[in-house]
Amino acid sequence: MSTGGTASDGAVISASSANAANATARVFEWPIRVYWEDTDAGGVVYHSIYLNYFERCRSEYLRAAGVLQRELREQQGIQFVVVDMNVRWARAAQYDDQLVVTAQYVETRGATCTFRQTIHRNTLEGEVVATAECRAATIDARTLRPVRMPKTLLAAMEAYSVGAVAPSITEANASAVRGAKHEY
């Protein structure tokens, strides 16, 4: 059973023990409905569309954590790229299904961070449609080379994962951003 509140964009923020390895980490929930554009002629969601659902949920997780990706790129010259993703499809999602996509921050190592994700039918307690583990890296937006995740970014993600209110990293560190391109 999850507990928590609702973000201004309708996403549900919960603290769940669904993942035994990371039981205290916040699980971010993001609802989505399956549209015809997501399916084949039989109304079954294409396998690649699940990746879009996972990506959108991770992006909304970061936004809820105060990480505004556009500002991160424009002000600090850093962006995220997926470097590894393992997906397991358990059941087919179909046209007009209501799904709940989750993202849970697991860890950061150097330039990479790991998220565990799940897609459920109807509710968080509903049937599992797919699961994924995604490893994303921070890169220099100009050179596209990996860079260690800045301390401010790491702090925002870690604070949010344990339920703390995380201010926008760009607001909290505006003067630092002007003075230094990256803070490690």
Catalytically annotated residues = 40
Closest to 149 in 3D by CA, of 112, 106, 105, 107: 112
Residue 48 neighbours by CB under 8 Å, 6+ apart? none
Whole-number Å distance between alpha carbons of 50 and 120: 12
Q: Parallel, antiparallel, or unpaired for β 78-89 and 112-121?
A: unpaired
Task: Kindly state the tokens that stand for 30.
Answer: 């993001």
Compute the C-alpha angle 16/157/124, nearest 5°: 25
Whole-number Å distance between alpha carbons of 12 and 74: 28
DSSP class of residue 95 equals T
